Chains A and B, each alone.
Chain A
Amino acid sequence: MTITVGPTDTPTGAGVGLSEQAQTRTRTFADLVEETGHLKNRTRVLVEDSTQLHQDSARLYDETLEQLLRTATGDRVKESVEKLLSHLSQLGFAWRDVARLAGVSVPALRKWRTGERATGDNHRRVAELVAFCDIVRQQYLIDEVASWLEVPLMPHVPVTGLDFLAVPRFDLLFRWASDLQVDPEELLDDFRPDWRSEYSSSIEVFVASDGQRGLRFKDAT
């Protein structure tokens, strides 16, 4: 079987100047296979190129965010620890969370709040936390940043943005903040590959008839 192409009534730009014979040659399925194969290869190359471009731009984005965080931290560290803690207080952070993120005890944090000096490293950690909140609020319009950080990513998996911060994994937090399509499971896979088995449980929380919360096996009704 053959397919006959043309001639066309009105020559296209590509056809202008070609002989009548060239326009009317018969093409075979073999020709089509070759052409579509070529097209497929070109498409694959384009996909690979665009994937690479996406990865490169994502890496560049992460690097610029890290640089932005460093710069913002450098600005914030000029403020006293007391003032930085006041910012976090106004955002609604729990002191026990701030203490954990700063790597100190709650009593040590209490002393900072009343004016006692922190070490340089601790001061920088608190400044970095405030700078991170600045970026998330300004770049991604997440105004309730403390709430955003302390709500678990998924129901019944006790991992929150605060856990990412404690490590710290700013890259995951920025991805979570910037990408509306991001799947929380992907973030958890990156953060803690064993999270599915670690947090699987045969028990669940329920509200008892007296209003108190209790535990029971999942198949109990």
Chain B
Amino acid sequence: MPDELEAPDDPEDLYLARGPEVILARPLLTGDVLDGIVIPGLDDAPGLAIIVTHPCSMRRDGVDLADRLLTARVEAYQPVAPEQWKGHWKVMPLPTLMPTPAGHLAARLDKIGLVPSGVVAAATRIACLTPYGVNLLQQRFIWHLTRFCASTSRLNETCAAVFEEADLHEEWVAHRVAAGSEVAAAAAEFHAWIRSEDSDSVRRQERLIDPQRLAGIRREMRRELGH
């Protein structure tokens, strides 16, 4: 239904990668779950945390991470059935995130704090959410703060270009690393390419806003990579 808190049809729809599926080639993004994080302001031990900084605000210049990233504690929580996602306003349920003796997990939207991006970047990433998962996380966070409900389809319209760039980044870096490059060097190379102008003198990064252009940019990138 429009403008109501949504629930995934299948919990698997939330996750792009978990555990060993997570690869370093993927840039840090909203919805990444990290281990061993101390969240300033919370009087608890290091633990799991999820990045809740808005996707468009993750990087201060489109390349380097912002100095601090907003994170929320991920901890044990009761199971939340799909029909119960309209409630439980203080959490983002994370069913099937990982097997845990404590049972199900959820991101606590009332336990948040800014973590230095260096700490985040050095931490072990245990999961990445899909764009739909990130949109659901945003929907619940906005609702928690304001009781305003934005549909995931509208939220996706605002962030689709960032999700696309993350996918391209991952593909570029994974390809270069497989050929012997360092992750950081490959990432810098990708940023230079995506921010450069195409044959029409338009920055490729700006093209990512238009769904009609995406396939062409992917083809161009794959040719550049020698696919």
Residues of A at the B interface (CB closer than 8 Å) are: 86, 89-96, 105-107, 110, 144, 146-147, 150-152, 158, 160, 197-205, 212-215
A158-B156, A212-B158 known, 15 other contacts, Cβ within 8 Å: A91-B219, A92-B216, A92-B218, A93-B218, A94-B214, A107-B21, A144-B215, A150-B211, A150-B214, A150-B215, A151-B211, A198-B2, A201-B2, A201-B153, A215-B158
19 residue pairs A–B, Cβ–Cβ below 8 Å:
A89-B218, A89-B222, A91-B219, A92-B214, A93-B215, A94-B214, A95-B171, A96-B131, A110-B174, A144-B216, A146-B218, A147-B214, A151-B212, A160-B211, A202-B3, A204-B154, A205-B157, A212-B56, A213-B56
**A residues within 8 A CB of B167?**
94-96
Quick one: which of B130-183 are within 8 Å of A by CB?
130-131, 150-151, 153-159, 164, 167, 171, 174
- DSSP class of B's interface residues: helix, strand, loop or mixed? helix
Quick one: which of B1-28 are within 8 Å of A by CB?
1-3, 12, 15-17, 21
Q: Closest A-chain residue to B168, C-beta based?
A: A94
**A residues within 8 A CB of B150?**
203, 215
Decide: A213 near B153, CB < 8 A? Known: A91-B215, A146-B215, A150-B215: no
B214–A213 CB distance below 8 A: no
At the interface, yes or no: B227 with Cβ under 8 Å from chain A?
yes
0/1 string, B11-49, CB within 8 A of A gives 1: 010011100010000000000000000000000000000
Q: Closest B-chain residue to A202, C-beta based?
A: B3
**A residues within 8 A CB of B164?**
94
Q: State how many angstroms separate the Cβ of B141 from the closest Cβ of chain A.
A: 13
